[in-house]
């Protein structure tokens, strides 16, 4: 049991859990001067202090504060922990050499064409043991928890052959066991074509369909299937075939769509009822229409846009058009070596003109939807798992993206336990 009292404001309250769309995205549904009761790892009760039941009042008055069961949150906010719905945080090493290459003028695609980029990470990963991959990924998991993330989706995609893709997915499976984070796993064999298939893409697509998907599904190693649908990577036809095959094994698509250009990724994602289409730097009228009529959420990854110095996705227009928007970190060694959602919030506000409330909803309740955990996470709703942030004494929630390098979190609780 844990009872938080005198909370400056309890933020992200939803009587009934629901995705935020349109104008609702700009509301944080706060209760000022609030209490929150957590029991068995779940949100049990909450409300204004003046309505706190007598039994809880007695408890608060008599409790020994050091026991940790009663937390006096005077001057501090409680909000849902971040749900980071798009990351590649299992990887074997950093790529700062390419960072310098980019500064000197090479583009992401040029680096990839020279065998760098994702192929560089794949080479390193093939030489790295599962144990070592696990240890470095757990380190990143601890890092993002320290920045307020309570749930994370993690992709494979640096294996690019059956053995190494499965190695990555087993690392993610072990993380599910050993990390307090709520984790969802995505098979991204279609991240890049291995060099040996550079002139024979079809053979690799067949390998994904006929070897990797059945093996991964039989071991229950992934919930989702993803593809980098982009010129120079996987075509719409490749993506279509891969999603079709994955869905037969119960893997729901997510898709890297429209990052470098109008790739058709959004449309193929919508066609297969993808849970999310991610990136969206190139999004126009056709994509807006396709998304508006779908159950697929648009996911922005402004950290990658920033790092690659590209044009940002038109997130303001997407929200105004009535399409729900989620936001994720895309933590990866090539286009966003950061898992900080505070920083993503700042980018969304400054570069994409989202309000702080829209940015926060995008990486809490809408992020939860984008990784299929909205029934249990993403908001302050009775019965949900208590993944919550107790902030430091900050002047407002807007302060979080405003003071974007100032640590705002005092404690993170996952399932009601401080981590
Ligand atoms: O989402 N665009 C494809 N995948 C990652 C980058 C991966 C990498 O460069 O290692 C992304 O940006």
Same domain assignment for residues 74 and 162: no
Bridge partners of 71, per DSSP, are: 4
Q: Same domain, yes or no, for 101 and 194?
A: yes
What total of structural domains would you count in the chain?
2
- Same-domain status, 122 and 73: no
177 and 316 belong to one structural domain? yes
Ligand 1: centre distance to CA 90 (Å): 12
Q: How large is the average pLDDT for residues 377-405?
A: 98
Q: What is the mean pLDDT of the chain?
A: 96
Q: Can you list the pairs that 411-414 forms with residues at least 24 positions away whose Cβ atoms lie under 8 Å?
A: 412/81, 412/145, 412/146, 412/148, 412/150, 412/388, 413/2, 413/38, 413/81, 413/386, 413/387, 413/388, 413/389, 414/81, 414/145, 414/150, 414/180, 414/181, 414/182, 414/385, 414/386, 414/387
In this prediction, residues 385-400 reach a mean pLDDT of 98
Query: At what angle are helices 130-145 and 162-178 packed, to 10 degrees?
Result: 50
Residue 89 shares a structural domain with residue 64: no
Give distance in angstroms: CA of 380 to centre of ligand 1: 32
334 lines ligand 1 (CB under 6 A): yes
**What is the band of 60 on the pLDDT scale with cuts at 50, 70, 90?**
confident
State both tokens at 362: 């995008």
Contact assessment for residue 361 and residue 20, using Cβ atoms and an 8 Å cutoff: yes
Strand runs labelled E in 2-76: 2-10, 31-39, 42-48, 70-72
pLDDT band for position 67 (cuts 50, 70, 90): low
Ligand 1 centre distance from Cα of residue 37 (Å): 40
Other C-beta atoms within 10 Å of 403: how many? 14
Above 60 in pLDDT, residue 65?
no
For residues 409 and 384, state if they share a domain: yes
Report pLDDT digits (tens) over 199-244. Answer: 999 999 999 999 999 999 999 999 999 999 999 899 999 999 999 9
pLDDT surpassing 80 at residue 64: no
Tens digit of pLDDT for each residue in 157-195?
999 999 999 999 999 999 999 999 999 999 999 999 999
Residue indicated by tokens 């006096």: 72
Enumerate the β-bridge partners of residue 278: 256, 299
Q: Is 87 in the pocket of ligand 1 (CB under 6 A)?
A: no
pLDDT given at position 63: 67
* Domain assignment of residue 34, given as a range: 2-81+379-418
Answer with the one of 370, 390, 405 that is the final residue of a domain: 370
Q: Whose CA is nearest to atom 7 of ligand 1?
A: 334
Residue 293 CA to ligand 1 centre (angstroms):
28
User: What's the CA gap between 292 and 322, in Å, rounded?
Assistant: 7
Residue nearest atom 10 in ligand 1 by C-alpha distance: 334
Same-domain pairing of 362 and 411 = no
DSSP assignment of 372-406: T-TTTSSSB-TTSB--EEEE-S-S-TTHHHHTTTS
Residues 102, 241, single domain; the answer is yes
| DSSP state letters, 147-193 | TTEEEEEEE--S--SHHHHHHHHHHHHHHHHHSSSEEEEEEEEETS-
User: Are 20 and 133 members of one domain?
Assistant: no
pTM (predicted TM-score): 0.97
CATH number of the domain enclosing 225 = 3.20.20.140
What is the CATH classification number for the domain harbouring 47?
A: 2.30.40.10
């Amino acid at each position: 049991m844990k009872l938080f009292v005198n909370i400056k404001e309890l933020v992200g309250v939803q009587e009934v859990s629901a995705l935020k769309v349109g104008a609702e995205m700009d509301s944080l549904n706060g209760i000022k001067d609030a209490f929150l009761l957590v029991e068995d790892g779940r949100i049990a009760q909450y409300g204004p202090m003046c309505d706190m039941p007598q039994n809880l009042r007695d408890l608060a008055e008599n409790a020994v504060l050091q026991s940790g069961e009663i937390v006096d949150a005077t001057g501090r906010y409680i909000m849902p922990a971040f749900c980071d719905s798009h990351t590649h945080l299992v990887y074997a090493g950093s790529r700062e050499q390419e960072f310098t290459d980019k500064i000197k003028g090479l583009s992401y695609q040029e680096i990839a064409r020279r065998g760098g980029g994702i192929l560089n990470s794949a080479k390193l990963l093939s030489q790295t043991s599962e144990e070592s991959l696990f240890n470095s990924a757990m380190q990143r998991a601890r890092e993002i928890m320290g920045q307020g993330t309570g749930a994370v989706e993690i992709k494979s995609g640096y294996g690019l052959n059956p053995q190494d893709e499965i190695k990555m997915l087993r690392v993610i499976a072990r993380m599910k066991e050993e990390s307090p984070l709520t984790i969802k796993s995505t098979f991204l064999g279609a991240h890049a074509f291995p060099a040996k298939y550079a002139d024979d893409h079809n053979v690799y697509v067949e390998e994904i369909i006929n070897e990797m998907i059945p093996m991964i599904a039989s071991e229950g190693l992934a919930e989702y299937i993803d593809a980098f649908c982009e010129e120079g990577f996987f075509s719409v036809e490749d993506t279509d075939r891969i999603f079709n095959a994955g869905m037969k094994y119960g893997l729901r698509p997510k898709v890297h769509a429209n990052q470098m250009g109008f790739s058709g990724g959004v449309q193929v994602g919508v066609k297969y009822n993808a849970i999310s289409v991610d990136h969206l730097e190139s999004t126009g009228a056709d994509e807006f229409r396709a998304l508006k009529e779908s159950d697929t959420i648009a996911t922005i990854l402004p950290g990658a846009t920033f790092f690659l110095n590209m044009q940002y996705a038109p997130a303001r227009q997407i929200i105004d058009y009535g399409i729900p928007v989620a936001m994720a970190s895309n933590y990866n060694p090539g286009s966003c070596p950061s898992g900080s959602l505070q920083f993503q919030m700042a980018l969304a506000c400054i570069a994409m003109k989202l309000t702080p409330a829209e940015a926060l909803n995008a990486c809490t309740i809408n992020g939860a939807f984008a990784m299929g955990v909205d029934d249990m996470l993403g908001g302050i709703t009775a019965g949900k798992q208590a993944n919550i942030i107790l902030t430091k004494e900050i002047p407002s929630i807007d302060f979080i993206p405003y003071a974007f390098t100032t640590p705002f979190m005092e404690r993170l609780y996952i399932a009601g336990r401080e981590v």
